[in-house]
Each structure stands twice: as C-alpha cells, then as structure tokens.
Amino acid sequence: MNEQPKPEVGMGASRGYGSDSYPATIVKVSSSGKTLWIEEDDYTFNPKAGEHEDKYIYSRRPGGRQFKYTLRQDGMFREVGARRGGTLGIGFRRFYNDPCF
C-alpha cells in the first residue's frame, strides 16, 4: 500500500498518465478525505534551473479544468472515470512528457 500525505486544499499534486505527469492543485477535499478535486496548473520552462532542480516553474490556473479523484483500496488516488492510469501524486507538482511517445 502506498502512503501519501493527507490531502489539503492548496496542496500541490501531480496527475499521472502512463509515464507522463501534469501539475495541479487540490481545490476541494471531502470530509472523509477519500474524494478530492484538483485543478490544472500552468507550467513554464525555467532555463536557469540547475542540473538537479526542477526544469519548470509552476503557477495556479484558477478556472482551469478540474478532475475528481477517489482513494482506492491500494492506497492510491485514481481519477473517476479514467480507464487507464489516472493516478495522483500528492504533495508535489511535476510536469513530464515522455519523449518516446
């Protein structure tokens, strides 16, 4: 079972689909903590980033697309209605597009 931090409104998150990852912000958490809603964030390439730094700068996108996730038995939050992937990492933002696809 994967242990993730307790989700809170305003916390960063990363939507995962296969090997791709997209930054987001948690905008609503149910009272049980088992359902949450996220909103897409913007990301901009940071040409000044060092070798071990994140290559992107993230910022909120109020009014961006929202997605609903539920906590599953394996301890992961998964997107409601997603057929493949649709996992959510909590507590960090990350953008990555696998160049192999």
Percent of the chain with pLDDT over 90: 63
User: How far apart (Å, rounded) are the C-alpha atoms in residues 23 and 80?
Assistant: 18
Please tell me the predicted confidence (pLDDT) of residue 36. Answer: 97
pTM, rounded to two decimals: 0.88
Q: Which residues contact 14 (CB under 8 A, 6 or more apart)?
A: 21, 22, 23, 24, 88, 89, 92, 93, 94
The model's pLDDT over 36-48, given as tens digits with 9 standing for 90+, comes to 999 999 999 998 8
pLDDT band at 2, cuts 50/70/90?
low
Cβ–Cβ < 8 Å for 73, 81: no
- 3-state secondary structure at position 23: strand
Residue 80 has pLDDT above 80, yes or no: yes
pLDDT band at 30, cuts 50/70/90?
very high
